[in-house]
Amino acid sequence: MTPPSLDAHVRLDTHPTHPSAVIATLTGTQAHIPHVGLEAADWHVVAKNTLVLARIDHEEPYWAGDAARELIAEGIAVEITPRLREAIDEEWTWADYPMPWCTRTEIREVSAEAQKIFDDIRHGHLLIHAHDGHTTVAVGTYLNTGKSVYLHGQDHLRQVADTFDSPAQALVSFERVHGDTMRPGPAPMTDTERAAAEARTSLITPPAEPETVPAYAADPGNHDDLLDEFLDAHGDWSKWRTWSDDTTHAIHESQTLRIERIHEAPAHETAWVVAAYETPVSDRMWHLAATSATPVPVLRELLDRLADGDGWDTAVGGDLDEKPITAATKPLVEAGWKYTVDGRWIRWTSPSEDAGVQFDALAATMSESLATWTIWAGPSVDQPTWALHASPHTPAPVIAGLATELAHGTGTRRPLHPRAPRQQLPQRTTTLPAAVPTGPRLPAGRLR
């Protein structure tokens, strides 16, 4: 039996800025009927008769097609734009999916379960008690049932790995395994979660104009363009890209300075590694690693120091000599950054407490692989938005240049959300990437 026709029309289209989100625009005197149905299916209201579907599994076109079929079956006219129709009909799979034996349908089922967990957290049904600062695990309790769960993974791969009868039982078990790295509350939003949240904001609000901010608070910018500009300007450096096309190596003609650029690295993972050698066949003198979210102004200063020859300059930190450490951090002191000593750690913190430089005196005496210097910005040194870690013998001019950029450099940032509140977290020692075999030829593997 054909359902009665309603005076309601739904137009489905792709989101103007989010790569996979879908917009529903409702018209007609009975537009409230599809409005209720879509909102119940977790479409988010962004304006009058306008809703957005934004998910963490990027399956919005599929679920929009499913919603269209249900609306049509209820007698509601549905228009699907050609570009959304193309996205609905497209067949794709996740690159490097960790469960390659799954069919497309099974992958979608895994993603749907992860989406439900995310929505339960977002709507306050699942209270997260704690997470692990090193891995993607967490523990929480469903408020409606009292059942506690152990979660593993993030975004479209998050799963319930175990269940408990009470929050106390769950927390005791979690602390037993993750006590050293246990952090209160939920983990910071992932890039995917943040993008979905942005897609759910009002479409009629014009994007905020970029603002001038300190270099350490700037948007990451385009790291690949930065490396290309550096290589174009300095003919004494050459580059090659791995066969898998995920890494670029830049090598100085002396073969004693090397840069590794890991493309598509997540925001909090290493995207740059710099290593210096006394000779092409010697062990490393020093090395430095920077995460993918490091702002371009900071990285540009680092590359400029390498181009100026500072990579071979006097190292700082290996012998705990106070003079080079003082010289390296002088720009911060002159700019009024707070200086503190806390046991093994010497710290210089910005007046707004959202950036800093940390020297680990104990790590400097223990191993070349430990991060003696940590340069960071974000909520805290232990939960940074981005971080740069350097080994004990990193040259003083390199640290001084980075310190100057932090204290006086500027960049741009497009405001999105209020900055997350700072959390006081325990310190931990960061281990730098491991050394690679040295030799006169270009390394076969990564510098880490």
Beta-carbon contacts of 75 under 8 Å, excluding residues fewer than 6 positions away, are 2, 3, 4, 5, 6
pLDDT at 235 over 50: yes
Confidence band of 298 (pLDDT split at 50, 70, 90): very high
CA Rg, the chain, in Å? 26
Give the model confidence (pLDDT) of 170-221 as tens digits: 999 999 988 888 888 888 888 888 888 888 886 655 556 788 999 999 999 8
Q: Over pLDDT 70: what percentage of the chain?
A: 86
- Of these ranges, 27-31, 75-79, 355-359, the one predicted with the greatest mean pLDDT is 355-359
- The answer, yes or no, to whether residue 269 has pLDDT greater than 50, is yes
Cα dihedral across residues 293, 298, 300, 306: positive or negative: negative
pLDDT of 433? 47
Q: Is the pLDDT of residue 401 over 90?
A: yes
Look at residue 210 in the predicted model and tell me its pLDDT. 82
Nearest CA-CA partner of 371 in 271, 267, 289: 289
Predicted local distance difference test score (pLDDT) of residue 136 = 83
Q: How high is the pLDDT of residue 169?
A: 93
- Which range among 89-98, 126-135, 271-280, 394-403 shows the weakest confidence by mean pLDDT? 89-98
Question: Domains of the chain, with CATH numbers?
Answer: 9-89 (3.30.780), 104-199 (no CATH), 213-413 (no CATH)
Q: What would the two tokens of residue 395 be?
A: 């040259």
Assign 417 a pLDDT band (cuts: 50, 70, 90).
Answer: very low
The overall average pLDDT reported for the chain is 84
Q: How many angstroms separate the CA atoms of 152 and 149, rounded?
A: 10
- The answer to whether the beta carbons of residues 275 and 287 sit under 8 Å apart is yes
- Cα distance between residue 377 and residue 215, in whole Å: 10
* Model confidence, pTM: 0.54
Q: Is the pLDDT of residue 422 over 50?
A: no
pLDDT score of 320 more than 70: no
